[in-house]
């Protein structure tokens, strides 16, 4: 069925080459069609403005811009058209040359919207909430110093499963399974799966293995006493919070999903093959 798009939000990372020119082109195209256009543009670290209500959001940048866009629009049920101006681009499947074609196909009802889970993160200190954030990719608990192991206790739905001695730990969504989680040895999951991953970073023991957890479970990480370095929580590589000993970090699948418009020219598996060089040739 055709979709009625009347208001468009463009979120543009002006640090990306060609972003300003493409932003102008998009603005002129939508304005000529009588659509209302709002723009959030930024250089460097973006601030969290009020996004308002729109029929469609366009992320203009790389995967990091999509992560920012997803957190900004969490709970608003606004689909995101991810246009890639970055280098790697697992989430941003649509090259800048295809943006107009992709939009018109979406408007005509020919492109599907993939629903992806978001990670709801809370930090409890003495039982009180001191920090909360939403993430599309992951949360990372890591050391603020080089070569300092952390001591972290992990629980799944209240059940103690492991006490880590490691450089840190990642709690990842399926979307984030191709990011830091993959580099740390975690499996790659289809981004529309309903699951979480718990992945240790450079653990002291090889017995510590990545764990895939149903979306119905809650993961909790407690910062043990006796740390020899600062302990830092990072959400999607963009929001940072300094943890203290005995803090409890709770991570669960949020009640809302983010909609990412899918290209009809390439699938998730095609992107995996291209980005990871699964060609079977000498450079694979």
The answer to whether residue 2 is domain-embedded is no
Q: Answer whether residue 142 is part of any domain.
A: yes
Do 225 and 125 lie in a common domain? yes
Residue 266 lies in a domain: yes
| Catalytic (active site) residue 236 | no
Whether residue 187 sits in one domain with residue 140: yes
Q: What is the pLDDT of residue 187?
A: 95
Q: Are residues 108 and 59 in the same domain?
A: yes
From first to last of its 284 residues, the chain has per-residue pLDDT tens of 889 999 999 999 999 999 999 999 999 999 999 999 999 999 887 777 677 789 999 999 988 999 999 999 988 999 999 999 877 667 877 889 999 999 999 999 999 999 999 999 999 999 999 999 999 999 999 998 877 899 999 999 999 999 999 999 999 999 999 999 999 999 999 999 999 999 999 999 888 999 999 999 999 999 999 998 999 999 999 999 999 999 999 999 999 999 999 988 878 888 888 778 886 655 55
Closest CA to 38 of 12, 74, 64: 12
- Structure confidence by residue, pLDDT tens digits, 90-147: 787 788 999 999 999 999 999 999 999 999 999 999 999 999 999 999 999 999 887 7
Rg (CA), the chain: 20
Domain at 181, CATH number: 2.60.200.30
Domain residue limits at 16: 7-112+262-276
135 and 247 part of one domain: yes
128-135 and 113-125 as β-strands: parallel, antiparallel, unpaired?
antiparallel
Tell whether 126 and 246 lie within a shared domain: yes
Q: What is the pTM of this model?
A: 0.91
Question: Which residues are paired to 240 by β-bridges?
Answer: 234
Q: How far apart are CA 14 and CA 175, in angstroms?
A: 24
C-alpha to C-alpha distance for 30 and 18, rounded to whole angstroms: 18
d(C-alpha 63, C-alpha 82), whole Å:
8
Split into its structural domains, the chain has a count of: 2
2-11 tens-digit pLDDT: 899 999 999 9
Tell me, yes or no, whether 141 and 229 share the same domain.
Answer: yes
Give the pLDDT confidence score for residue 88 in this predicted structure: 61
Of 55, 63, 236, 239, which is the active-site residue? 63
Continuous H helices in the chain: 19-32, 63-72, 99-107, 180-183, 268-276
Structure tokens at 79: 């689909």
Does one domain contain both 130 and 163? yes
Name the one residue in this structure whose structure tokens are 């940048």.
61
């Amino acid at each position: 069925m055709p979709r009625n798009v009347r208001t468009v939000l463009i979120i543009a990372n002006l640090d990306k080459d060609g972003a300003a020119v493409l932003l102008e082109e998009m603005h002129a195209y939508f304005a000529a069609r009588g659509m209302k256009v709002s723009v959030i543009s930024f250089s460097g670290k973006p601030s969290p403005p009020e996004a308002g209500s729109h029929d469609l959001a366009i992320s203009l940048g790389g995967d990091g811009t999509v992560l920012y866009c997803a957190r900004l629009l969490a709970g608003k049920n606004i689909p995101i058209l991810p246009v890639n101006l970055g280098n790697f681009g697992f989430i941003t499947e649509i090259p800048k040359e295809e943006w107009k074609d992709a939009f018109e196909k979406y408007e005509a009802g020919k492109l599907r919207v993939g629903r992806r889970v978001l990670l709801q993160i809370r930090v409890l200190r003495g039982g009180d909430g001191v920090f909360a954030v939403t993430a599309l990719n992951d949360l990372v608990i890591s050391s603020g110093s080089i070569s300092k192991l952390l001591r972290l206790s992990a629980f799944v739905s209240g059940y103690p499963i492991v006490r880590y001695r490691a450089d840190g730990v990642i709690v990842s969504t399926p979307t984030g399974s191709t990011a830091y989680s993959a580099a740390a040895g975690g499996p790659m999951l289809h981004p529309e799966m309903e699951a979480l991953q718990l992945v240790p970073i450079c653990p002291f023991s090889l017995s510590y293995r990545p764990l895939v957890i149903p979306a119905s479970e809650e993961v909790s990480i407690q910062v043990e006493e006796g740390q020899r370095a600062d302990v830092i929580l990072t959400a999607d590589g963009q929001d940072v919070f300094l943890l203290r000993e005995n803090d409890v970090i709770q991570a669960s699948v949020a009640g809302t999903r983010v909609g990412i418009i899918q290209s009809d020219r390439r699938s998730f598996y095609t992107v995996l093959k291209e980005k990871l060089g699964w060609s079977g040739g000498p450079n694979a």
